[in-house]
Amino acid sequence: MVSTRLENLVSADGNDSSAALVVLSGLIAVTVVSPLVWIVLRALQVDPARAATLMFSIRTAEILGTSLGLMAGVTVLSVLIGVPLAILTTRTDLPYRRLWTIVAALPLVIPSYIGAFAFVSAFGPHGELSSVFGLGLPDVRTLPGAILVITLYTYPYVFLTTRAALLSMDASLVDAARTLNADRLEAFRRVTLPQIRPAIAAGSLLVALYAISDFGTPAFMQVTVFTSAIYWEFGAFNVEYAALLSLQLLAVTAVVLLVEAKVGRDEDASGGGASGARIRLGAWRWPAMGGVATLGIVTLVVPVAIFGMWVLRGTGGGVSSYAFEWGYAINSVYLAALAALVASVLALPVGYLSARSDSRLARLFERGTYVGFAVPGIVIGLALVFFGANYASWVYRTVPLLVFAYVVRFLPQVVGTTRTSVLQVDEKLPEAARTLNASQIETFRRVTLPLIAPGVVAGGVLVFLTTMKELPATLMLQPIGTETLVTLIWSAHGTAHYRYAALPALILVVISGLSMLVLLRQEDNNVS
Amino acid sequence: MSVNNERTQRYGSTTDQRAKSKRSPAADEATILEVDGVTRRFGAETAVSKLSLSVRDGEFLTFLGPSGCGKTTTLRLIAGLERPDEGRIDLDGDRVADADGTFAPPENRDVGVVFQDFALFPHMTVGENIAFGLQERDDERTDDRVTELLDLVGLADKREAYPENLSGGQQQRVALARSLAPEPDVLLLDEPFSNLDVDLRVEMREEVRRIVKEAGVTTVSVTHDQEEALSISDRVAVMSDGQLQQVGTPEEVFQRPKSRFVAEFLGHASFLPGHIEEDVVKTTLGPIGRDRIHGLTVEYDWTTIDVLVRPDDLLARPAGEREADGRVIYRRYLGPTVLYRVELDSGEVLECMHNHSDRLELNEAVTVELAANHGFAWFPTDGEVF
């Protein structure tokens, strides 16, 4: 009796249900990747000669050049800010190091387009400060301006990865170098730098990926890079050109990802724990603290102050069509909640399978769902526009298609947390349940699901919060008549009625802050 | 616990002479490292308190103490990885640190350090690790020096290997070679064997002593393992609570501990009360001749003292109820030997070490006898320093 039961455990029924799981995961992965097919299909419909002319035009070259310049500028500047900050907060005797660490990491909380919006509305031609001082402020709506703004909100990626590497690096290595007659600089160059280089590279690639796929900031700042150009061409009904530019953007993204796959991984941090001697800043601690404080003021205080000022001043005498209505916030919440729910449900089979099975297929499907991580939102938006307009006009500009776009874009977040929590469940527990006569499905429902629920929920919350902030896909697929917080900001910017965007922008800052908290909680859970 | 520093100091210097005459051929070796009244505080906590000590050229000295006693901080102070709050440190005649702000960073001190976790640079090969401190030499001389050191530590075939592919013992040899390569004045070893398996530990102890003696370098080591300290060192400096308790040869600190702390930290210690009566000290195990008690002075006549007895000084024999003076309350089988704990009728508890073939039962009535003919250390009953 026992033996037959054991046989059942390992044979037939197990294989059946895991086969079903593989099929299900495969379906989800294919569905999520499918938008890429539409964009390629649309691009292939362009007459080859015309495609060649467009692809090799001067304008395309300009767009490519500006995009690469933006990406390179942001990446270099982020390294120049992020790495010294990481050293300052881990290796020196800077007073209040914890506080400055938080200040330095916090800009990540604000979507860069919100920051760009704040700076444009303050320093732009119709901006707050210009109207106070009259003319004379340099226009920030330039490539350097965009580089600066994106850097201010993305350098924390480099800061955080470098900081983690410095913390996990065995500090006695530096001590060892010092006792071997290397002075501080030499020890940094020959020992510390080689140790933290992979982390700097990983952070830089995140920054590069963000910079190349960011739509809001270049759009707000009138800089013509791939993302903004795609949107403008699409708006001008140059659909073919938009599709071709999307392919180029995808190619650039693919190169960044390939470099990332080459550079990343392998290095795992050694020992750690042992804390070496700290660098004594002496009188330099004042300029150091001043520098970090200034950064915090520029990135955090200035935007919030500008928005706050507008909110307090009220919107009296303005254009009523831009007036804030709570209905916008409710629309945002509704869409984001739907996206979170769908993404969590879809993530369950994929995350579970990839954690429990070591087959290549499971790995492939999991990787497939990560397409949203690599593909810029503007491209996903455009792809679904093609799909809706050409093949399924009945879903075009409806809630389901918009939610699907969100799911494609943010599914990786919840797949990641689900996979991690499944990995943390001791494999003996489901086995124990099976020996206690629970069927496979019952075991999942009564044992596995309750254990992984916190991870899935955390992933769902992340999807919810990031969906609230999503700009390009929302703009392109927005159901007619459904305004949300981000579309309000967009149209307020378009007509230079900046102050109407203040409240939605403040709400989004708070929302983004919450997502940071969830991420930190998640990290704590993974550590313990 | 207070220690008379001045006395420790004087005692230390007489020990130096003894150590020299016994262990090193050259009679007039210079002091290479001098630590004088060094204090280091971390916030409200005093890690090292008024520590004074001198180390002679070529000597192997070990700081021994429980974790948190300040021994590693002392080592880091000598290396220049910490700054003293008070006191001064001289290395090879140069002032390297004092309270007035003189502070030579580690790279200017000519010290080599073998770290507890070895701290080998993971991105460099064995050869590159060893060559790290040899920047000032040209390539050929660097190469020769690396070869020389690889031969010294017996790893000539591992030159191109990366640290992660080495065993613990091999990593330790590389760390040792790397710190010896720039020919430091003083080699510092921070708990050098604590990351090794027990079997390897004993082997590496011998090996490290051989290597540093062959290199002729003055060595200061830190450990909490008393067996390691006693077996490897020319002199042992026992520390507790940031203070130096006693400095001396292994024999001196073991056989003539200056405090109960030192007595107990260096091995099992039982204290046998005895009353001094003219020529003998009367104990429950019978009288001990006055001449066998180290340095007993007249002012303690007719008082009670505690005589230090080690487990191997005592033997317990089975006895009938009449002649028995205690019973076995604890037994620990250690393989070659067995440790018995006997509670005497008078209330004292003594530990006796027996050969593994001797078998006593728990609760068995026994009589304990003193089976040693060497002298004994002693402590006043209420204090600790005689």
User: Does residue A226 sit in the same domain as residue A261?
Assistant: yes
B252 and B311 both lie in a single domain: no
**Predicted pLDDT at B360:** 87
Same domain, B216 and B101: yes
Whether residue B251 is found in the same domain as residue B294: no
Other beta carbons within 10 Å of B326: 24
Could you report the per-residue pLDDT of B80-136, keeping only the tens digit for each?
988 999 999 999 989 999 988 889 988 888 899 998 888 899 889 999 999 998 887
Residues whose CB falls within 8 Å of the CB of residue A393, separated by 6 or more in sequence, listed in order: none
Q: Buried b vs exposed e over A422-461: b needs ≥16 C-beta within 10 Å?
A: beebeeeebeebbeeebebeebbeebbeeebeebbbbbbb
> Which residue among A170, A176, A182 places its CB closest to the CB of B113?
A176
pLDDT of residue A51: 87
Q: Which of B105, B123, B182 sits opposite A194 (nearest CB)?
A: B123
Alpha carbon distance A420, B272 (integer Å): 62
Per-residue pLDDT at A17: 64
CATH code: domain of residue B278 = 2.40.50.140
Angle between helix A399-424 and A449-469 (nearest 10): 140
CATH code (residue A116): 1.10.3720.10
Nearest CA-CA distance, residue B246 and chain A, Å = 28
pTM of the predicted model over 0.90:
no
Closest chain B residue to A279, measured at CA = B81
Residues of A within 8 A of B182 (CB-CB) are 180-181
- Band of residue B386 on the pLDDT scale cut at 50, 70, 90: very low
> Do residues B364 and B326 touch, judged by C-beta distance below 8 A?
no
Q: How distant is the Cα of B53 from the closest Cα of chain A, in angstroms?
A: 22
Residues of B in contact with A173 (CB under 8 A): 119, 121
Q: Which residues of B touch A272 (CB under 8 A)?
A: none
**Contact A172/B at CB under 8 A:** yes
Cβ contact, residue pair B179, A179, below 8 Å: yes
Average pLDDT over residues B354-376: 87
DSSP-assigned states of every residue in B266-301: TS--EEEEEEEETTEEEETTEEEEGGGBTT--GGGT
DSSP code string of B157-184: GGTT--GGGS-HHHHHHHHHHHHHTT--
> What's the domain range around A150?
57-313
Q: Does one domain contain both A254 and A372?
A: no
Q: Residue A411's closest CA among A382, A372, A376, A449?
A: A372
Q: Are residues B301 and B355 in the same domain?
A: yes
Q: Decide if B351 contacts B340 (C-beta within 8 A).
A: yes
Confidence of residue A314 (pLDDT cuts 50, 70, 90): low
pLDDT score of A276 = 62
* The pLDDT value given to residue A168: 84
Determine the distance in angstroms separating the CA of A195 from the nearest CA of chain B, rounded to an integer: 7
What residues make up the domain containing B277? 270-380
Q: With an 8 Å Cβ cutoff, is A176 touching chain B?
A: yes
Same-domain status, B28 and B102 = yes
Q: pLDDT band at A425, cuts 50/70/90?
A: confident
Whether residue B192 lies inside any domain: the answer is yes
Please list every residue in chain A whose beta carbon sits closer than 8 Å to the beta carbon of residue B132. 177, 180, 182, 190
Quickly count: other Cβ atoms within 10 Å of residue B258's Cβ. Answer: 24
Q: Which of B213, B232, B265 is the last residue of a domain?
A: B265
Check residues A378 and B302 and name the one with the higher pLDDT: A378
What backbone torsions phi and psi does residue B322 show, to the nearest 5 degrees? Answer: -65, -55
Please tell me whether residues B52 and B199 are part of one structural domain.
Answer: yes
Higher pLDDT pick, B75 / A108 = B75
Q: Do B115 and A176 touch (CB under 8 A)?
A: yes
Give yes or no for a contact between A56 and A133, defined as CB atoms under 8 angstroms apart: no
Domain count, chain A: 2
SS3 A86: helix
CB of A497 within 8 Å of a chain B CB? The answer is: no
pLDDT digits (tens, 9 = 90+) for A157-209: 999 989 988 988 888 898 899 999 888 889 999 999 998 998 898 889 889 99
pLDDT for position A273: 47
In a domain, B322, yes or no: yes
One domain for residues B229 and B251: yes
Confidence of residue B17 (pLDDT cuts 50, 70, 90): very low
Per-residue model confidence (pLDDT) at position A524 = 60
Q: How many CB atoms lie under 10 A from the CB of residue B384?
A: 17
> Which chain B residues contact residue A192 at CB under 8 A?
none
Among residues B235, B257, B358, the alpha carbon closest in space to that of B309 is found at: B257
Q: Which of A502-511, B19-28, B60-69 has the lowest average pLDDT? A: B19-28
Q: Name the band, by pLDDT with cuts 50, 70 and 90, for residue A138.
A: low
B193 and B298, same domain (yes or no)? no
Touching check for A267 and chain B: CB below 8 Å? no
Set of chain A residues whose Cβ sits within 8 Å of the Cβ of B119:
170, 172-173, 175-176
- Our count of domains for chain B comes to 2
**B123: phi then psi, degrees, rounded to nearest 5:** -95, 10
Report whether pLDDT(B299) > 70: yes
Q: Which of A261-275, A390-404, B26-40, B219-233 has the highest mean pLDDT?
A: B219-233
Q: Is the confidence at residue A133, as pLDDT, over 80?
A: no
- The pLDDT of residue B194 is 87
Give percent above pLDDT 70 in chain A: 87
Q: Confidence class of residue A4 from pLDDT cuts 50, 70 and 90?
A: very low
Say whether A179 and B111 touch across the interface (CB within 8 A). yes
Contact A175 B106 (CB under 8 A): yes
Answer whether A182 sits within 8 Å of B132, measured CB to CB.
yes
> Mind listing the pLDDT tens digit for each residue in A65-77?
999 999 999 999 9
Pairing of strands B111-114, B186-190: parallel
CA atoms of B210 and B176, how far apart (whole Å):
12
d(CA B244, CA B249): 15
Distance from CA of A96 to the nearest CA of B (A): 16
Residues of chain B neighbouring A195 (CB-CB closer than 8 A)? 122-123
Which residues of chain A are within 8 Å of residue B171 when distances are taken between CB atoms? none
Q: Count the neighbouring beta carbons within 10 Å of the beta carbon of residue A249.
A: 24
Q: In the structure, what pLDDT confidence band is assigned to residue A127 with cuts at 50, 70 and 90? A: low
Is residue A52 domain-resident? Answer: no
| Whole-angstrom distance, CA of residue B101 vs CA of residue A248 | 62
What does pLDDT average to over chain B? 86
Least CA distance to A275: which residue of chain B? B81
Q: Are A82 and A30 contained in the same domain?
A: no
CA distance B201 to chain A (A): 21
Query: Which residues of B are less than 8 Å from A189 in CB distance?
Result: none
Closest-CA distance of chain B to residue A363, Å: 29
Nearest to A181 among B119, B122, B182 (CB): B182
Chain pair A-B, CB pairs under 8 angstroms? 71
Whether B241 and B310 share a structural domain: no
CB-CB neighbors (< 8 A) of B79 in chain A: 175, 179
Which conformational region is residue A134 in: left (phi greater than 0), alpha (psi within -120 to 50 degrees), or beta?
left
The C-alpha angle A241, A246, A248, rounded to 5 degrees, equals 100
Do A86 and A225 belong to one domain?
Answer: yes
Q: Is residue A49 part of a domain?
A: no
Same domain for A517 and A390:
yes
Residue B165 has pLDDT above 90, yes or no: yes
Which tokens is B40 given?
Answer: 């280091």
Q: Are residues A244 and A323 in the same domain?
A: no
Do A290 and A326 share a domain, yes or no? no
**CA-based nearest distance B130→chain A, Å:** 10
- Of B231, B265, B299, the last residue of a domain is B265
**Higher-pLDDT residue of B286, A294:** A294
Is residue B245 in a domain?
yes
**Are the beta carbons of B338 and B385 closer than 8 angstroms?**
no
B349 domain residue, yes or no: yes
Domain stop point among A296, A313, A330 = A313
Tell me the shortest Cα–Cα distance from B133 to chain A, in angstroms: 5
Q: What is the mean pLDDT of chain A?
A: 84
Say if residue A163 is in the same domain as residue A280.
Answer: yes
Measure in Å the smallest separation between the Cα of A175 and chain B Cα atoms: 7
Q: In which band, very low, low, confident or very high, does the pLDDT at A41 lie, cut at 50, 70 and 90?
A: confident
- Is B278 part of any domain? yes
Domain boundary, last residue among A313, A339, A365: A313
**Residues of chain B contacting A180 with CB distance shorter than 8 Å:** 107, 112, 132-133, 178-179, 181-182
CA atoms within 13 A on the CB side of A300: 17
- Of B234, B250, B265, the position where a domain reaches its end is B265
Domain-embedded: residue A232? yes
Whether the CB-CB separation of A19 and A11 falls below 8 Å is answered with no
Cβ–Cβ below 8 Å for B115 and A181: no
The answer to whether residues A28 and A62 belong to one domain is no
Residue B377: name the closest of B243, B234, B231, B272 by CA: B272
Question: Within a domain: residue A199?
Answer: yes
Task: Say yes or no to pLDDT of A94 above 80.
Answer: yes
Same domain as A111, residue A28: no
Q: Which residues of B touch A269 (CB under 8 A)?
A: none
What pLDDT does A467 receive?
92
Residue in chain B lying closest to A269 (CA): B122
B-chain CB neighbours of A190 within 8 Å are: 132
Any domain includes B152: no
User: Is residue B167 situated within a structural domain?
Assistant: no
Closest by alpha carbon to B122, among A177, A260, A274?
A177
- pLDDT tier, A436 (very low <50, low <70, confident <90, very high otherwise): confident
Nearest chain A residue to B80 by CA distance is: A179
Structure confidence by residue, pLDDT tens digits, B243-278:
999 999 999 999 999 888 999 999 888 888 888 888
Query: Cβ of A195 and B116 within 8 Å?
Result: no
CA-nearest residue to A182 within chain B is B107
Residues B374 and B276 in one domain: yes
The verdict on residue A210 lying in a domain is yes
Find the CB nearest B107 among A172, A178, A271.
A178
CA distance B73 to B46: 11
By Cβ distance, the residue of B105, B109, B115 closest to A172 is B115
Same domain, A72 and A122: yes
What is the spatial distance between Cα A468 and Cα A484, in angstroms, rounded to a whole number? 9
State the Cα–Cα distance between residues B231 and A425, nearest whole angstrom.
49
Q: At A293, phi and psi to the nearest 5?
A: -65, -40
> CB of A481 within 8 A of CB of A421?
no
What average pLDDT score do residues A145-164 get? Answer: 93
Within-domain flag for B147: no
A3 found inside a domain: no
Domain boundary among A285, A313, A341: A313
Domain match, B250 and B286 both: no
Higher pLDDT, residue A433 or B21: A433
pLDDT in tens, A251-295: 999 998 888 777 655 444 444 444 566 788 888 889 999 999 999
Minimal Cβ distance to A170: which of B109, B119, B132: B119
| Residue count (chain A) | 528
CA distances from residue A14 to A4, A7, A8, A428 in whole angstroms, order as listed: 14, 10, 8, 16
End-to-end CA distance of chain A: 41
Select the highest-mean-pLDDT range: A116-130, A172-186, B61-75. Answer: B61-75
pLDDT at B90: 94
Check whether A438 has a pLDDT greater than 60.
yes
The C-alpha of A300 sits at a distance from chain B's nearest C-alpha, in angstroms, of: 34
Identify the residue among A91, A170, A179, A193 best suited for mutation to test binding to B, counting B beta carbons within 10 A and taking the highest.
A179
CATH of the domain at B106: 3.40.50.300
Please report, in angstroms and rounded to a whole number, the separation of the first and last CA atoms in chain B.
Answer: 14
Residue A320: pLDDT over 60 = no
Using a CB-CB distance cutoff of 8 angstroms, which residues of chain B are in contact with residue A181? 107-108, 133, 135, 182
| Sequence-separated (6 or more) residues with CB below 8 Å from residue B363 | B327, B328, B329
Residue in A256, A259, A157, A254 with CA at minimum distance from that of residue A199: A157
The beta-carbon neighbor of B121 closest among A183, A184, A191 is: A191
Closest CA relative to residue B187, chosen from B157, B163, B211: B211
CA–CA min distance B117, chain A (Å) = 8
Whether residue A172 contacts residue B119, with contact meaning beta carbons closer than 8 Å, is answered with: yes
* Interchain contact, B182 vs A176, CB within 8 Å: no
Question: Per the domain annotation, does A46 fall within a domain?
Answer: no
Instruction: Give the mutation candidate from B109, B111, B114, B117 for the A interface (greatest A CB count, under 10 A).
Output: B117
Per-residue b or e along B267-290, where b marks 16 or more CB atoms closer than 10 Å to that residue's CB: ebbbbbbbebeeebbebbbeebee
Claim to verify: residue A208 and residue A170 sit in the same structural domain: yes
- By CA distance, what is A183's nearest residue in B? B107
**Predicted local distance difference test score (pLDDT) of residue A43:** 87
Q: Is residue A161 part of a domain?
A: yes
Residue B104 Cα, gap to closest chain A Cα (Å): 11
**Residue B278 and residue B234 share a domain:** no
